[in-house]
Amino acid sequence: MNDANALYAEITGIHDKVGDHQGFVHGETDDARPRFDGEATPDSLVTLYDDQGKVIGTTRADSAGQWTFVLPKPLGDGPHSIHVTATTDEGTSNPSDNVAITIDTSHVVPGQLVINAIYDDIYREYVEKNASTGDARPTLEGMAEANSHVTIMDGDTVLGVAQADPWGYWTFMPENGLVAYIA
């Protein structure tokens, strides 16, 4: 971006949080609801669009211009082209370059109960497999049978219940902080 006063928005990465191959996406993913990361005019409203120009969601860029967004509904299998804009009181930016992604969920088992990801709400990032987090109340994300109730447990202790949506996705944040384990 050349003009410091110009509005801008861009997608800087797509993150897969489902299955065995999690992390940044390079073209293809089995995650029908991947996380999009980007940069935009600070404090702007960021709008994501699909290849037909239909709005698929909005989020707000923070004061440093960073933003993240997880799709509320899954994208269908096949190729997709996503772009973003940023809106402030001054107007709306030009659309960003399109980012191509192909969704392939052919090997995902419908209704299988899994925890796909753990999101650290303090550092605003996903926790890598077998890693620790300083967030005592991280958000758990998973899949289950569509519209089912998912009981979240720590050993024999029930932490709460999450409701799976019509596509089987669920999220859960513990009401109380989790106990820290020191190895």
**Domains by residue range for the chain, with CATH:** 9-103 (2.60.40.10), 114-172 (no CATH)
Confidence (pLDDT) at 84: 98
- Percent share of the chain, pLDDT over 90: 36
> Per the confidence metrics, is the pTM higher than 0.95?
no
User: Rounded distance, CA 76 to CA 66, Å?
Assistant: 27
Both tokens assigned to 65:
């211009």
| Residues of the chain above pLDDT 70, percent | 91
* Cα-Cα-Cα-Cα dihedral sign, residues 20, 24, 25, 31: positive
Radius of gyration of the chain (CA): 18
Task: Please give the pLDDT value at position 182.
Answer: 47
More confidently predicted of 89 and 31: 89
pLDDT at residue number 179:
65
The pLDDT of residue 38: 96
- What's the pLDDT tens digit per position in 35-73? 899 999 999 999 999 989 999 999 999 999 999 998 888
Three-state helix/strand/coil letters over the chain = CCCCCCCCEEEEEEEECCCCCCEECCCEECCCCCEEEEEECCCCEEEEECCCCCEEEEEECCCCCEEEEECCCCCCCEEEEEEEEEEECCEECCCCCCEEEEECCCCCCCCCCEEEEEEECCCCEECCCCCCCCCCCCEEEEECCCCCEEEEEECCEEEEEEECCCCCEEEECCCCCCCCCCC
Q: Please report which confidence band the pLDDT of residue 140 belongs to, taking 50, 70 and 90 as the band edges.
A: confident
Average pLDDT of 154-166?
84
What pLDDT, on a 0 to 100 scale, did the predictor assign at position 6?
87
CA 18 to chain centre: 11
